[in-house]
Amino acid sequence: MEQINNILRDDNLYKAAIQALHGLQSNSNYLKLVTKDNSQANAVRNLPDTKKYLIRSGITLEKLDTLSVIHIAGTKGKGSTCAYTEAILREHGFKTGFFSSPHLVNARERIRISGQPISKTQFTQNFWKIYKKLEDTKEHESDMPTYFKFLTILMFNTFLDEHVDVAIIEVGIGGLYDCTNIIRNPVCVGITSLGLDHTSLLGNTVEDIAYQKSGIFKSGTVAFSVPQLSQAMRILEEQAIERNCKLRVIPSFDEYKWENLSPILQIKNKVQQQNASIAIQMATEWLLTRNKVASVSMDKIAIALTSCKWPGRMQVLRSSIGDFFLDGAHTIESIECCISWFNDISSGSKRKKVLIFNTSGTRDPIQLLIPLRSLHFYKAYFVPNLVGIKSLDNEMNSSSTDEQKIKCEINSKIWGMNSVVANNVLEVLEDIKRNLVQKNNCERYQILVTGSLHLIGAVLAILDPNLTMNTEF
């Protein structure tokens, strides 16, 4: 009986922690605030505020300097790049920490040790320890970090407590003013593909975006970049010189010489090959400069790349009602990559195609929807980032807001014929299943889910809540 009570108590503490975390201002609310103010004043406050709260949590900047960090920014591909980098270093036998955002199903995914999200128990204990310290040292009522800032501080505490060998840290938004940029001496940094996103905060040109991303360059550090548009590369080169940082453009994936094993057959998509190449460069830099190995094993790199799982990004999930193609593309460039990937992987099939779509923030849906029309979908569903199961929506802090529903109505009108507006994801999946049964159709659908990583999370919360890369739906 005591054991059951302890389990219930721990579960209640975890739920309370998630609720308290949601009580802190989220990134979406932060973006709205910055847009409303039309200034970078709030963004500029990020670094001094993060340092202040980190120190109050019990970690000095000198203590933070002892963490061995690989820091990664970019518009698209940075999550996949981080995942590849982490997998390579873990395959070489090192204890890894990995910080990413946003999460798909639960917040614990953002903080991983040796490839696994931290447990509910560890999250709960660390959360309340830090939350109490910050509550006790408040100078005024609203003197608490925002959602992402709190998780950043929680991450630094966790990685230092766990004595990880290396921390792979993904930038949240931008780079220059991002909370994670209190890191002073990364081993190396990476810049993935750049494009226009979060323009209200980062600027309206590729040059502006490149300047913000290059903010993670540090003196004496090596920076790796994928090939960029000439105007973006010029800014990266200028900032590298100004910040005394060596900038290296990565080689093509085709240039690598493999030993006994090769990942080429598993990583066919050009975008993922680019992400894999920058991951190889950063992992190799860390391994050699830290004198961790005499030479890098290309076999271990091949194993890491082929076994790496990163849900929601160019992911295929086969279910009883159809094959789900999940990609959180939310910019013009990433939608084009998504379309190319979907075309390649589904070519030759005559099965009916279904679209499930939503957008987040202030992105222009027309720029994403018009290119998707080329895929000739049988039906398109427009739905808020809402699961439709209360316990999961509470965990994910989802809410069926009027604002989201209005956007779905607009998107449906843009799309035109054969479009459906739904209240939640469960409603969509049940409708697809019902149509399949009613028509006695043995040919399963090809279902593309895209437009928002938050939408991907809502779908996976039903199909694969533990992110096993399999589903019984």
Count of H-run helices and E-run strands, the chain: 19, 14
Pick from 349, 352, 346, 366: which is nearest to 451 by CA?
366
112 is in an annotated binding site: no
431 is in an annotated binding site: no
Q: Could you count the other beta carbons within 10 Å of the beta carbon of residue 322?
A: 22
22 is in an annotated binding site: no
Q: Check: CB of residue 171 under 8 Å from CB of residue 99.
A: no
Q: How many residues does the chain have?
A: 473
Q: Can you tell me the distance from the alpha carbon of 91 to that of 344, in angstroms, rounded to the nearest whole number? A: 30
238 is in an annotated binding site: no
255 is in an annotated binding site: no
Q: Can you tell me the distance from the alpha carbon of 280 to that of 274, in angstroms, rounded to the nearest whole number? A: 10
Q: Could you count the other beta carbons within 10 Å of the beta carbon of residue 241?
A: 12
Structure letter (DSSP) for residue 69:
E
Q: Coil, strand, or helix at residue 223? A: strand
- Whole-Å CA distances, 359 to 25, 79, 199, 324, 403: 20, 19, 15, 18, 11
What dihedral do alpha carbons 374, 407, 323, 114 form, nearest 10°? 120
Q: Which residues contact 16 (CB under 8 A, 6 or more apart)?
A: none
Strand arrangement of the beta sheet that strand 419-421 belongs to: 315-318, 322-326, 445-450, 353-357, 379-382, 419-421
Location of structure tokens 């873990």: 90
Q: What is the 3-state secondary structure (H, E, C) of 380-449?
A: EEECCCCCCCHHHHHHHCCCCCHHHHHHHHHHHHHHCCCEEECCCHHHHHHHHHHHHHHCCCCCCEEEEE
* E-assigned strand segments in 276-373: 315-318, 322-326, 353-357
Binding-site annotation, residues for Mg(2+): 101, 170, 198
Binding-site annotation, residues: 101, 170, 198, 313, 327
Binding-site annotation, residues for ATP: 313, 327
